Structure 1
Amino acid sequence: MQLRATLITADPARLEEAVRFVETDARKLVEGEPGNLGMSLKVNSTLGVAVVHSFWVSADAMRESDKHVRSTRETAADRASGTVSVETYRVASVVRVAPWASGGGVRVTRADADPSQLDTVVAAYEDTAVPWLTETAGFCGALFVAQQRTGRTVSETIWSDAAALAESRSVAAAIRVDTAAAADLAVRGLEEYSLLFSTVRPVPAE
């Protein structure tokens, strides 16, 4: 499975305009493309940031879709007086123990790995982080994606609501330390969002 991640940074007062466009027009167009496996949208309204994920059955399907959906990114950014950037990843690991529902909390951890060791990194993540996460109250699922060329990785944990997200911060900090040590990861960023919707279908990772 492949992932296209679109980051929109906006005027917080106008973020809602971009969100409405993504939820209606953009979502209908993207999910109608051949090979699409669903979308998700999460926001940090205070900062004026929205992250759109679209999931694809293959890299070819993702590339082919771009010529048809590229304009939606520009429109969303224009409506929010913002900027837009895009990254693509391979979905390396997916865990789902409860629905990824609207109102959920999302924690995003960005880290760099040795590109030649990504298979080992994924195995370490699944052996170290996932068992601990599944025992934590409010945990709904996790997504781990990577870029083979750069070694850039992004892990997302999805929580039942904002309260569960907040309550998990100490546990998440301990998990980051252990996982970074086990997988030889350099953590580069930490973000939190509110999940507005997720329609990604439970297709096994590659």
Structure 2
Amino acid sequence: MFVRTTYATGDPAKLDQAVQALTGEGREQLTKEPGYRGAGLFVDREVGKLLTGTWWQDEEALRASADRMGELRARVLSGFAATMTVDNWEAAVVSRPESVGEDARFRLTRLEFAPTDADALVDAFENGVLPKLRTMRGFLGGTLFLDRTAGRGTVGAVYADRDSLAASRGPVAGVRGEAASKARATVRSVEEFEVVMIDARPPS
């Protein structure tokens, strides 16, 4: 599968307006799109950050939806977004939660790597990181997204609640360092978000 992410920042006081638009009009439009396979919405209400990910059956569906999704994104985020970045990714490793509770949390780690090391990163995550994450209390699912050509990637991990996210920080730091060294990847940032919505749909 392939994923389009949108990362927006703005006035925290206007964030709820954007959330309502995304979970209302935005979600309704997405469900009509050919090849749509789910979405996630994550926020940092204190800072004023919003992250969305929309999942697509294949690269063709991702590209075919680009113009319509661009118009929708501009409309529903216009009142909030002071900055906005849109990226397309290959979903290289996927373990998505089927559902989450109201207190669910999300951790995003951004990576850079030499394009020739992309397969090493996939192996490190699939056979090293993900099995260790699955042993941690409250872990619900994780993903590795790649832009192989640019040498960029993200690791996403969903936890059941605030406490399990907090408890995982120390153990995950060790796992992160070991995997980055093994895959010759550079960690550029680590961020944490509240989970607003996860809509996971199986591939057709």
Shorter-chain TM range is over 0.9
Identity %: 28
Aligned residue in 1 for 2:65? 65
Instruction: Tell me which moved more, 64-73 or 185-194.
Output: 64-73
Provide TM-score, normalisation by structure 2: 0.95
Encode CA deviations 1:25-47: one digit per residue, 9 max, x unaligned.
01111221000001110000011
Match of 1:156 in 2: 156
Deviation at 1:82, TM superposition (A): 2.4
Instruction: State the 1:52 CA deviation.
Output: 0.9
Alignment correspondent of 2:35: 35
CA shift for structure 1 position 74? 1.2
Which residue matches 2:195? 195
Match of 2:111 in 1: 111
CA distance in 1, matches of 2:151, 2:84: 22
For 1:19, the aligned partner's letter is V
SS class of match (1:150): coil
Structure 1 residues 98 and 174: CA distance shift in structure 2, 3 A? farther
Distance in 2 between residues matched to 1:101 and 1:8, nearest whole Å:
24
Residues 168 and 65 (structure 1), Cα distance of their counterparts in 2 relative to 1, 3 Å cut: same
The question of whether the paired residues in 2 share the 8 Å contact of 1:2 and 1:57 is answered with yes
Gap change, CA 1:31 and 1:95, over 3 Å in 2: same
Q: Deviations over 1:59-92 (max 9, x none)?
A: 1111111111212211233221522220000000
Shift of the 144–81 alpha-carbon distance from structure 1 to 2, 3 Å rule, reads: closer
Partner residue, 1:11 = 11
**Partner of 2:46 in structure 1?**
46
Matched, 1:186 2:183: no
After TM superposition, give the deviation of residue 137 of structure 1 in Å.
0.6
For these two proteins, the number of residue pairs brought into alignment is 204
Task: Give unpaired runs (5+ residues) of structure 1.
Answer: none
Q: Where in structure 1 do 4 or more consecutive aligned residues deviate above 3 Å?
A: 96-102
* Secondary structure, aligned partner of 2:65: helix
Classify the secondary structure of the residue corresponding to 1:144: strand
Could you list the runs of 5+ residues in structure 2 that have no partner in the other structure? Answer: none
Classify the secondary structure of the residue corresponding to 2:50.
strand
Which sits farther off after the overlay, 116-125 or 18-27? 116-125
Query: Which secondary structure state, in structure 2, belongs to the residue aligned with residue 136 of structure 1?
Result: coil
How do 1:115-194 and structure 2 match up within 5 A?
115-194=115-194
**What CA RMSD, in Å, does the superposition of the two structures yield over aligned residues?**
1.6
Letter paired with 1:82:
A
Q: TM-score, normalised by structure 1?
A: 0.94
How has the CA–CA distance of structure 1 residues 174 and 67 changed in structure 2, closer, same or farther, with 3 Å as cutoff? same
Q: Which moved more, 1:77-86 or 1:16-25?
A: 77-86
Corresponding residue SS for 1:82:
strand
